[in-house]
Amino acid sequence: MSGKDKIALITGASRGLGASIAHRLTKDGYEIWANYHSNHEAANQLKQEVEAMGGTCRLLPFDVTDEMQVAEILTPLLEQSTPDVLINNAGFNKDTLMMWMKSEEWQSVLDVSLNGFFHVTKAVLLGMLKRKSGRIINIVSTAGQSGLPGQVNYSAAKAGLIGATKSLAQEVVRKGVLVNAVAPGFIETDMTAKLPVDEIKKTIPIKRFGKPEEVAGVVSFLCSEDASYIVGQVISVNGGIYM
């Protein structure tokens, strides 16, 4: 799948990993459909950056947890075009030990990762199946593979998304749609900015945090023809912290 004249829909695209993935897929020649929730300033900054690279960026402000919002924004676009690539990147954390975790802290984290995946993927999937081609890449986490204390909600959400990745991959592979996941470890983003970096680095075999561009590079590979025999896999980008 060369990127020329193709479309990549990225959820949670306005900053962090989503923005890095948008930059990389722009370099690969994709038109970017950039979903974001409410950070208009960051979204407009991304649009300017993509356009400065010679690309095209369509901003799609909607809450992935709201099925009606997803349909309202995506349906008119999907009637005209189906994205060739869907990157389910939207997600966030509300870390605390389970004994102190509030119901809202549990539910909101699961809603974004799991309900967001369901609403957006279901909207896009029919067009991919009719066309008999497409790539769906879910951004999960090492937390969903190994578990992390203080992240029962986030680990559950990402573990659930790993399971959904493998099940959906089996459902649609014969129709030419390849589904995989990328599992970042500790990456230099806003989500990790407040962590005790020096202490965590000691636990990582490579002794550093990853860069968003390193995750984006793996996503780019999974979008390419070189990955045409890879399906239902979880590719870890974690510096060896979980093997």
| Backbone dihedral angles phi then psi of residue 19, each to the nearest 5 degrees | -65, -40
Query: Within 10 A of 148 (CB to CB), how many other CB atoms are there?
Result: 17
Would you please indicate which residues are annotated as catalytic (active-site) residues? 154
Give the CA count within 13 Å in the CB-facing half-sphere of 87.
33
DSSP 8-class letter at 38: S
Q: Which two three-digit tokens encode residue 196?
A: 């005790």
Distance CA 112, CA 95 (A): 15
Let me know: does 69 contact 42? Beta carbons within 8 Å: no
Buried b (16+ CB within 10 A) or exposed e, 164-173: bbbebbeebe
| Residue 77 identity (one-letter amino acid) | L
Distance, CA of 127 to CA of 79 (rounded, Å): 9
